[in-house]
Amino acid sequence: MTRYIIMRVLSTIPVMVLVALFVFLMLRLAPGDPASVIAGDYATAEDVARIREQLGLSDPIVVQFLRWVASLVQGDLGTSIFSGKPVTELIGQRIEPTLMLALTTITFAVVVAVPLGTLAAFRAGSLVDRFVMLFSVGGFSVPVFVLGYILIYIFSMTLGVLPVQGYKSPFTEGIGPFLYHITLPSVTLSVIFIALIARMTRASVIEVLEEDYIRTARAKGQSEMKILTRHALRNAAVPVVTVIGIGIALLIGGVVVTESVFNIPGLGRLVLDAVLARDYPIIQGLILFFSFVYIFINLIIDLSYTLLDPRIRY
Amino acid sequence: MSILEVTNLTVKLPDGADRPFAIEDVTLKVEKGQILCIVGESGSGKSVTAFSVMGLADRRALTPVSGTIKLDGEDILDIDDARLRKLRGEKMSMIFQEPMTALNPVLRVGDQISEMLEIHTDLTRSQRKTRVIEAMTDVRLPDPEKMYRSYPHQLSGGQRQRIMIAMALTLEPQLLIADEPTTALDVTTQAQILKLIKDIQRRKGMGVMFITHDFGVVAEIADHVAVMKHGRIVEQGSVAEVLGAPKDPYTQKLIAAVPSMIPPEREVATGQIALETDDLVKTYGQAGLLGQGRVVKAVREVDLTVRRGETLGIVGESGSGKSTVARCIMRLVDPTSGEVLINGENIASLREGQLRSHRRDIQIVFQDPYRSLNPRRTVGQSIVEGPVNFGLSMNEAKARAAELMQVVGLSPDALERFPHQFSGGQRQRICIARALAMEPMILIADEAVSALDVSVQAQVLDLLDDVRKRFDLAMLFITHDLRVAAQICDRIMVMNKGEVVESGFTSTVYANPQHDYTRALLAAAPGQIGPAA
Amino acid sequence: MTDQATQPAPGAAAAKDISLARIALRNRGVFWGGAVLLVIALFAIFGPFFVQDPTALNPINRLKPPGSEGLFGTDMLGRDVFSRVINGAQVSLVVGLFVAVIAVALGLFLGLIAGYIRLMDALIMRLMDGLMSIPAILLAIAMISLAGATLTTVVIAIVIPEIPRVVRLVRSVVLTVREEPYVEAAISAGTRVPTILVRHVLPNTIAPLIVQATYICGSAMLTESILGFLGAGIPPEIPSWGNIMSEGRTFFQLTPWIIFFPGICLAVTVLAVNVVGDGLRDTLDPRIARNMR
């Protein structure tokens, strides 16, 4: 068991190295001289030379990669070209709104989607089921920003009950203003997750309800409600938890867009500003940061399987 | 007094099924202290009968249209769900074919038994636990205190079925319905479970409705027998009447098809040696990066020889390594060490390129007739694939295929059809034709008749014996069923845990087994029926 | 079960593939989704010949509401929104189609190799794990901002993150099928590996891949619009639903329709694609339902 955990943790290392390699190569393999790409269209020859020096671009590519990995291992994600600040510091300044948005979204999505999916499975073929399936197909089809604008139009511009944009920290400005501002972005972003999780919950519960042990429970005289809560849900959990893990990738993309729509000063905005400013160390650093977060969360989810299903013992 | 009385029960199948009714006009009784066996082949409606009594049949697909099911005087078809739930567990309970899937994999087995008490009684948690431990002791599970906390996957098949029995009997119901409860178990475990069910039934005076396809099991356990065919009961009566003097032709046919445990006289084969293995070993797994990895020795130093015109049987329970031997010989898995000699040439470590020319000499028929043929390809395409690989022209291959269709008892126009248009037995015939199309020296039958109903099984066995003679094949016959082995094998090898524990002429081994394991296996074979029974 | 054949089906071999398409069309989702897509495709192909120039500036009629000046009104430069939306449909459809085809082709190739050649399996799958860990949108934004925004770079940037899911799907099918007795029978019959792959393994991947391709198509359209919306997509000279909406952001409170019209068109298109995908999944192979998404 312990051995498995160690192995599993170690197995993330090659994946992280690969991610680092992708991100590294992306910049080097792009057409043109990376230094002048980074420096931008209006840079002078000195600027380009300075950037080349700063990024060590004259060294052999292997040396560059190893040096970069070495600095990554020390927790150094690079330095912004324009502000001169370390990327880690910038992430630290901007992480709170993003984290809060992600947490409220995931929580809301799970709380809504799991009961919805279970209900749909339990009443497969019914009106409720059709509604849930329709909602989930719809949820996959509307782009998150369009949804955001529709909600802004309804709740902010027409009804005037929620603010158009902005973010208030729950730590410095109180929980009330925080919720008041986070509701719309969070609901917007959660729609696709509700679709994703409800769909998987439904499929998984339907499959479990076909299992022999459900029949055994019926043969014992157990009630349908208890069969659902006691026998079906826990067995259906692994695929649902897996899909939440995969959904993290989707969430990260969604955060960038949602922050942009609702003008939330988080990591998503940091990326977009960096793209506009062509501040590549920030883009690189953030992609790596998000990828590592994804790998870490999926590691935790993998390890949680042992708690959900006693058959999984490594 | 009857605990269960089923009268004129008819259950409708959904529209578009191959027949209008799943069961028709079924009338039967289970008395107190009596075991009723319902016997039938697949599709006979025996399980539908059992599930209808429990009220577990899917009402949307299987609708009871007439008749009554009276449990202790109360009509199951006439009561509401709450009452039905109360009766389940308290007055009747059920055990199933697959104890692994019938238990919830994520709950401890003790808690699953305890759930029965939780539903139907007001006992406290600790009282329930005491009762569960008692029930577990009752079915002779070792160390119940510890086993209470186990999960299903940590137990053996037999232990799981004991858990199921303990669960079904905690509330001492008057009726136990057992749906093929030993079919998924090894023969020695089956014997123990049958004995357990019979013991408990006698002690508690329960009525038991026991569903099975196996007349051996019937002989072992039944007081009364009902034989079902196509949804109808064709014959019922006491076990002595039905087994001793069957009246219905179908019953007679079924009983005649049950292979006898007494091997017939066979000539000693003198053909040349076609297949030989020497110290064949297969191990799975390897040393891990951190410390010891798990290594499983599936096959340990197996030596065998098969002559042309001879059938060698390998007999063993699940996990004995018998199928691994076959797969090593076929080179579907690579042997870890040892030699596999085909006509004197060692193929154990040949590379795929060199191996290819030997492939035609040795062919195999698998267990599962439904997965052995590519569903997307016609029977003809499947049969000609091999010969064409080895240079036969398409026309010659087709002609050969048509000839072989007749050999295996099918019409040549079957070649144009797809596998799903054939029954299981017919598909096994097709697989035999496919193997023969390669003109092999050696034919391996890996549990080739195990998935078939007994009447079909007998026909396919005859066919295998027939083609062995006709084409002078060396046949390696892998099976778990001692009765089948008795009928077809010249010599047998008994395997246990990867090792050959005994081998010799079939008649010698059956008459005078030397090894303890062989003796246990032979003793466990259910119901040696015949005039004596 | 008696040992008798069921009804013979004459000419089953020839009819099989045609009937597959016919059965699929009998599904309501496939039919209606397909019909909607057909209409949208016709608009995208022939529409541009009938509407005015989507790039024609008309500064006097800026930000006009729908109906007063053109069916969908005008944008901040006075361009006709209806004309831009009709023209933008091409980009979405082309991106969706190309991304689906390329991702499936590459994924099929890599998945077959990973599933059948043990040595390559670990290597390919680790690469895919790595690729999957990078958030798709960020990867696309970064690639496009490095390589410049053209239709080609946008398609490539969207294709790359889609490949791992196809590879995983194909590999899992291959791993299941190669254990089937009929494949082992083919090995025993001396059939060579490439033939086994094409004859026995490949046909099993087709149904799940068709379904997966529709989902990829839908998600590619969404990604394209998001890239356009964030200003990292196809440049505004070529109207796309994404960049029309991007330009509509500034005046959203004043002229919400500039976002809503292309947004609704996009949602309807993607919805139609997804409905077709669900219908295909239900008809072609219900067992694969769980592996999707």
Q: CA of B139, closest CA in chain C: separation in Å?
A: 36
3-state SS string over A126-181?
A: CHHHHHHHHHHHHHHHCCHHHHHHHHHHHHHHHCCCCCCCCCCCCCCCCHHHHHHH
Confidence of residue C288 (pLDDT cuts 50, 70, 90): very low
Answer yes or no: do A182 and A241 share one domain. Answer: yes
The structure tokens listed for B212 are 């099975």
Edge to edge, the sheet with strand B345-346 lists B296-307, B273-284, B337-342, B345-346
Burial class of residue B125 (count of CB atoms within 10 Å of its CB; 0-12, 13-18, 19+): exposed
Q: Please count the structural domains in chain A.
A: 2
Amino acid at C235: P
Residues of A engaging B, defined by a Cβ cutoff of 8 Å: 3, 6-7, 211-213, 215-223, 230-231, 234-235, 308-311
A183 domain residue, yes or no: yes
* High-pLDDT (> 90) share of chain B, %: 45
Cross-chain Cβ contact A152/C252 below 8 Å: yes
The H-or-E segment that residue B434 falls in is helix B424-437
Chains that touch C (3 or more CB pairs under 8 A): A, B
Answer yes or no: do A150 and A283 share one domain. Answer: yes
Last residue of a domain, one of A14, A45, A73: A73
Q: pTM value? A: 0.84
CA-CA distance, A133 to A201, in Å (whole number)? 11
Cross-chain Cβ contact B106/A216 below 8 Å: no
Last residue of a domain, one of A49, A73, A97: A73
On chain B, the residues whose CB falls within 8 A of the CB of A230 are 107, 115
Residue C4 has pLDDT above 60, yes or no: no
**pLDDT, tens digit, 9 for 90 and up, residues B460-505:** 999 999 999 999 999 999 999 888 999 899 999 999 989 999 999 9
**pLDDT, tens digit, 9 for 90 and up, residues A230-262:** 899 888 888 898 888 888 888 888 898 899 888
Q: Please say whether the beta carbons of A139 and A152 come within 8 A.
A: no
CA-CA distance, C227 to C138, in Å (whole number)? 10
B139 domain residue, yes or no: yes
Res C92: pLDDT: 86
Radius of gyration of chain B (CA): 25
A80 domain residue, yes or no: no
Answer yes or no: do B39 and B110 share one domain. Answer: no
B347 domain residue, yes or no: yes
Chains that touch A (3 or more CB pairs under 8 A): B, C
Please enumerate in sequence order all residues whose Cβ is within 8 A of that of C228, keeping only pairs 6 or more positions apart, or say none.
C234, C240, C241, C242, C243, C244, C245, C246
Q: Please say whether the beta carbons of C83 and C72 come within 8 A.
A: no
Q: Please say whether the beta carbons of B226 and B243 come within 8 A.
A: no
User: Among A122-126, B513-517, C270-274, C284-288, whose mean pLDDT is lowest?
Assistant: C284-288
On chain C, the residues whose CB falls within 8 A of the CB of B424 are 1
**pLDDT, tens digit, 9 for 90 and up, residues B284-306:** 876 554 445 567 888 898 999 99
Nearest chain C residue (CA) to B368 = C181
Last residue of a domain, one of B143, B172, B201: B172
Answer yes or no: do A131 and A172 share one domain. Answer: yes
Q: Please count the structural domains in chain B.
A: 3
User: Can you give the residue range of the structural domain that contains A38?
Assistant: 2-73
Answer yes or no: do B162 and B122 share one domain. Answer: yes
Res C292: pLDDT: 38
Cross-chain Cβ contact B291/A215 below 8 Å: no
The answer to whether B374 contacts chain C (CB < 8 Å) is: yes
Of residues B311 and A41, the one with the higher pLDDT is B311
Could you give all domains of chain C from N- to C-terminal order, each with its CATH number?
20-46+72-292 (1.10.3720.10)
Cross-chain Cβ contact C127/A278 below 8 Å: no
Q: Please say whether the beta carbons of C151 and C228 come within 8 A.
A: no
Please enumerate in sequence order all residues whose Cβ is within 8 A of that of B339, keeping only pairs 6 or more positions apart, or say none.
B276, B277, B278, B279, B280, B346, B348
Answer yes or no: do A150 and A180 share one domain. Answer: yes
Answer yes or no: do A218 and A297 share one domain. Answer: yes
Answer yes or no: do A127 and A217 share one domain. Answer: yes
Residue B57 has pLDDT above 60, yes or no: yes
Cross-chain Cβ contact B372/C12 below 8 Å: no
Answer yes or no: do A146 and A253 share one domain. Answer: yes
A222 domain residue, yes or no: yes
Answer yes or no: do A130 and A247 share one domain. Answer: yes
Average of pLDDT values for C261-273?
88
Phi, psi angle pair for C268, to nearest 5°: -65, -45
B430 domain residue, yes or no: no
Of residues B440 and B533, the one with the higher pLDDT is B440
Cross-chain Cβ contact C271/A137 below 8 Å: yes
Residue B219 has pLDDT above 70, yes or no: yes
The H-or-E segment that residue B234 falls in is strand B232-238
Answer yes or no: do B178 and B77 share one domain. Answer: yes
A214 domain residue, yes or no: yes
The structure tokens listed for C136 are 């798709």
DSSP reduced 3-state for A2? helix
Edge to edge, the sheet with strand B499-505 lists B362-365, B442-446, B474-479, B311-315, B491-496, B499-505
Cross-chain Cβ contact C229/A143 below 8 Å: yes
Of residues B283 and C47, the one with the higher pLDDT is B283
User: Can you give the residue range of the structural domain that contains B124?
Assistant: 101-172
On chain A, the residues whose CB falls within 8 A of the CB of B102 are 212-213, 215-216
A260 domain residue, yes or no: yes
Res B365: pLDDT: 94
B451 domain residue, yes or no: no
Average of pLDDT values for B229-244?
90
Count the neighbouring beta carbons within 10 Å of the beta carbon of residue A5: 14
Amino acid at B518: T
Residue C7 has pLDDT above 70, yes or no: no
Give the CATH number for residue B196.
3.40.50.300
What's the complex ipTM? 0.84
Answer yes or no: do B166 and B195 share one domain. Answer: no
Confidence of residue B37 (pLDDT cuts 50, 70, 90): very high
Res C12: pLDDT: 39
Nearest chain A residue (CA) to B152 = A311
CA-CA distance, B15 to B351, in Å (whole number)? 54
3-state SS string over B130-198?
A: HHHHHHHHHCCCCCHHHHCCCCHHHCCHHHHHHHHHHHHHCCCCCEEEEECCCCCCCHHHHHHHHHHHH
On chain A, the residues whose CB falls within 8 A of the CB of C264 are 146
Count the neighbouring beta carbons within 10 Å of the beta carbon of residue A161: 11
Residue C293 has pLDDT above 80, yes or no: no
B331 domain residue, yes or no: yes
The answer to whether C184 contacts chain B (CB < 8 Å) is: yes
Q: How far is CA C120 from CA C55, C114, C117, in A?
A: 50, 6, 6
Answer yes or no: do B188 and B239 share one domain. Answer: yes
Residue C19 has pLDDT above 70, yes or no: no
CA-CA distance, A185 to A270, in Å (whole number)? 17
On chain B, the residues whose CB falls within 8 A of the CB of C185 are 364, 366, 372-373, 382, 431, 434
The answer to whether A162 contacts chain C (CB < 8 Å) is: no
**pLDDT, tens digit, 9 for 90 and up, residues A304-314:** 888 888 877 65
The structure tokens listed for B169 are 């009997």
Average of pLDDT values for B188-193?
88
Cross-chain Cβ contact C5/B417 below 8 Å: yes
B501 domain residue, yes or no: yes
Answer yes or no: do A69 and A132 share one domain. Answer: no
CA-CA distance, A110 to B450, in Å (whole number)? 47
On chain A, the residues whose CB falls within 8 A of the CB of B101 are 211-213
CA-CA distance, B95 to B157, in Å (whole number)? 13
Burial class of residue B294 (count of CB atoms within 10 Å of its CB; 0-12, 13-18, 19+): exposed
A102 domain residue, yes or no: yes
Q: Where are the alpha helices (DSSP H) in chain A?
A: 2-29, 34-39, 45-55, 61-73, 87-122, 127-141, 144-151, 175-209, 212-219, 224-226, 233-262, 267-277, 280-308
The answer to whether B414 contacts chain C (CB < 8 Å) is: yes
User: Among B51-65, B117-131, C74-88, whose mean pLDDT is lowest?
Assistant: C74-88
Answer yes or no: do B75 and B200 share one domain. Answer: yes
Nearest chain C residue (CA) to B413 = C8
Confidence of residue A65 (pLDDT cuts 50, 70, 90): confident
Chain C from 92 to 131: CB within 8 A of any B CB: none
DSSP reduced 3-state for B449? coil
DSSP reduced 3-state for B340? strand
Question: Strands B362-365 and B311-315: what pairing?
Answer: unpaired
The structure tokens listed for B236 are 């019922």
Answer yes or no: do B193 and B327 share one domain. Answer: no
Q: How far is CA C127 from the centre of its chain?
A: 23
User: Among B80-94, B273-287, C178-192, whose mean pLDDT is lowest?
Assistant: B273-287
For an interface test with B, the pick among A216, A222, A231 (most B C-beta atoms closer than 10 Å) comes out as A216
On chain C, the residues whose CB falls within 8 A of the CB of B385 are 186, 189, 191
A82 domain residue, yes or no: no
Classify the C-alpha dihedral C219-C225-C226-C231 as positive or negative.
positive
Of residues A100 and B291, the one with the higher pLDDT is A100
For an interface test with A, the pick among C123, C125, C137, C260 (most A C-beta atoms closer than 10 Å) comes out as C137
For an interface test with B, the pick among C188, C195, C285, C287 (most B C-beta atoms closer than 10 Å) comes out as C188
Answer yes or no: do A189 and A252 share one domain. Answer: yes
Res B454: pLDDT: 85
Please enumerate in sequence order all residues whose Cβ is within 8 A of that of C206, keeping only pairs 6 or more positions apart, or say none.
none
Answer yes or no: do B168 and B182 share one domain. Answer: no
On chain C, the residues whose CB falls within 8 A of the CB of A276 are 231
Cross-chain Cβ contact C130/A294 below 8 Å: no
The answer to whether C6 contacts chain B (CB < 8 Å) is: yes
Q: How far is CA A118 from CA A133, A187, A234, in A?
A: 12, 21, 12
CA-CA distance, C190 to B355, in Å (whole number)? 9
Question: Strands B63-71 and B2-12: what pairing?
Answer: antiparallel
Q: CA of B60, closest CA in chain C: separation in Å?
A: 20
Last residue of a domain, one of B134, B157, B172: B172
DSSP reduced 3-state for B444? strand
Q: How far is CA B252 from CA B190, B261, B524, B531, C135, in A?
A: 25, 18, 25, 13, 69
Give the CATH number for residue A178.
1.10.3720.10
**pLDDT, tens digit, 9 for 90 and up, residues A152-161:** 888 888 887 8
Of residues B310 and B295, the one with the higher pLDDT is B310
Which residues share a beta bridge with B209?
A: B36, B177
Nearest to A26 among C130, C146, C219 (CB): C146
Q: CA of A207, closest CA in chain B: separation in Å?
A: 13
The structure tokens listed for C263 are 């947004």
CA-CA distance, A266 to B255, in Å (whole number)? 78
Answer yes or no: do B2 and B77 share one domain. Answer: yes
Answer yes or no: do B157 and B179 share one domain. Answer: no
Confidence of residue C20 (pLDDT cuts 50, 70, 90): low
Cross-chain Cβ contact A216/B103 below 8 Å: yes
Residue A225 has pLDDT above 50, yes or no: yes
Considering only CA atoms, which of A283, A288, A257 is closest in space to residue A271? A283
Answer yes or no: do B197 and B246 share one domain. Answer: yes
CA-CA distance, A44 to A202, in Å (whole number)? 59
Answer yes or no: do B16 and B159 share one domain. Answer: no
Average of pLDDT values for C110-133?
87
The answer to whether C186 contacts chain B (CB < 8 Å) is: yes
CA-CA distance, B162 to B167, in Å (whole number)? 8
A78 domain residue, yes or no: no
Last residue of a domain, one of B153, B172, B191: B172
Phi, psi angle pair for B48, to nearest 5°: -60, -40
Q: CA of B155, closest CA in chain A: separation in Å?
A: 12
Length of chain C: 293
Cross-chain Cβ contact A309/B106 below 8 Å: yes
For an interface test with B, the pick among C2, C183, C191, C198 (most B C-beta atoms closer than 10 Å) comes out as C2
CA-CA distance, B501 to B518, in Å (whole number)? 8
* High-pLDDT (> 90) share of chain A, %: 15
For an interface test with B, the pick among A210, A218, A220 (most B C-beta atoms closer than 10 Å) comes out as A220
For C218-257, letters b (16+ CB in 10 Å) and e give: bbbbbbbbbbbbbbbbbebebbbbbbbbbbbeeebeebbb
